[in-house]
Amino acid sequence: MAKAHPLARPILAPLAALYRVIMSARNYLYDRGLLSSYRSSVPVISVGNLTVGGNGKTPLALYLVEQLRERGYKPVILSRGYGGNLKGPHRVRENDSPSAVGDEPLLMARSSGVPVVIARARAEGARFIEREGLGDLIVLDDGFQHRKLQRDLDIICVFAGSDEAIEDFSRGELLPLGRFREDRDAGLGRASLVVAAYRSVLAAGADPKMVDERLQRVIPSGLPVVRAHYEFVEVRSLDGERAIPACAVHAFAGIANPQGFFESLKRVGYTVERTHAFPDHHPFTEEEVIKLLDAHPGALFVCTEKDGVKLREMSERARSAFAEFRVRLTVAPSEAFMDSVLRSISKRS
């Protein structure tokens, strides 16, 4: 979300002020224990954010469960199931439809190797995980504002991959005037750890600053900060049979902040002839995809892994025109990050 147009600000500012009052009152009631919340019998780690839009939450959740599995834990991902029509609690299966469970939960279920549970009421999801004995730790995806479920560690992702994003974070304006879901400083006060996410593959040898100076000025001293960025794996056909070397492609994305994806393709050697950007979680239809293919005959479309989940549900003709840009998230310094995570878990022992 870009900065509000100057002519719109007089209209949006009172709405943002009202939103601030509502969210502040809600958080006050939770902070004072006047609104009830559920404490799970297993540790809960929340991966969330303060703003709307893509901040790298889901890739970080996947990275986190991978690291936890390597250390002998049995994590379970708990998600709202945004974009799906099931309220849950429901354990996501690999053959579920993205329209039922949401694109990101389905992607996580297929790629993480751990159970993924969706539940609109996350506390009920936690009870379901306990009842079914699915694991010994819950990773709560996009759960920072969902305070009905208590957590042992609150990780906030901050998109630090563009000047505009850092400027937005520095201004701290609430919806609908800005991008913030709640008061920035109050939210940072509840956080345990900040991950500054660069939502693109970095150029070879690049070493980004730990945190941009403008961002550093608004993060409380003493709040640990690590950075995260993507490492390129490959571009592979949707059927998984062919790796696609660098060539001319059309970039296709239905995600927040698609520019990072477009730039990543270029940085690893692909020539982006055209970009096709859709809203985050866009429910692609067969008709609109075929219409796009007809408008660009012979083009190879490269999509994100999240979009690939939905495109695999389509006809052979639609699928055959697409390849998937595969990346993995890495966190630095990784040991400091995991030490913070493990300390929060050990307090439950």
Q: What is the pLDDT of residue 209?
A: 57
Crossing angle of the two packed helices 57-70 and 103-112, in degrees rounded to 10: 20
Is 83 domain-assigned? Answer: yes
Instruction: Identify the domain containing residue 278 by its residue range.
Output: 231-329
Q: Whole-prediction pTM value? A: 0.89
Which tokens is 348 given? Answer: 């439950």
Is 3 domain-assigned? Answer: no
| Cα–Cα distance for residue pair 322/177, rounded to 1 Å | 37
| Cα–Cα distance for residue pair 42/347, rounded to 1 Å | 11
Q: Pick from 226, 164, 213, 173: which is nearest to 51 by CA?
A: 173
Is the separation of the CB atoms in 265 and 302 below 8 Å? Answer: yes
The DSSP symbol for 51 reads B
Domain of 174: which CATH number? Answer: 3.40.50.300
Is 69 domain-assigned? Answer: yes
Residue 38 CA, distance from chain mean position: 24
Average pLDDT per consecutive 10 residues, the chain (349 residues; last block may be shorter): 66 92 96 95 95 83 95 96 92 93 94 96 97 97 94 92 82 92 95 85 53 80 88 91 95 88 92 95 91 95 94 92 92 89 85
Which tokens is 26 given? Answer: 């809600």
How many separate domains does the chain show? 2
Residues making up the chain, counted from first to last: 349
210/260 same-domain check: no
Q: What is the pLDDT of residue 160?
A: 81
Q: What is the pLDDT of residue 205?
A: 47
Q: What is the pLDDT of residue 245?
A: 96
Q: What is the pLDDT of residue 165?
A: 82
Is the separation of the CB atoms in 271 and 298 below 8 Å? Answer: no
Q: What is the pLDDT of residue 204?
A: 47
308/193 same-domain check: no
Pairing of strands 90-91, 116-118: antiparallel
Q: What is the pLDDT of residue 55?
A: 74
Is the separation of the CB atoms in 24 and 161 below 8 Å? Answer: no
138/39 same-domain check: yes
Is 2 domain-assigned? Answer: no
- Give the pLDDT confidence of 277-295 residue by residue, as tens digits: 999 888 889 999 999 999 9
Q: What is the pLDDT of residue 190?
A: 95
Contacts of 208 (CB under 8 A, 6+ apart): 160, 198, 202, 227, 229
Is the separation of the CB atoms in 308 and 236 below 8 Å? Answer: no
Residue with tokens 């159970």: 115
Is 179 domain-assigned? Answer: yes
Helical H segments across 172-272, by residue range: 184-190, 213-216, 259-267
334/223 same-domain check: yes
Which tokens is 95 given? Answer: 């053959």
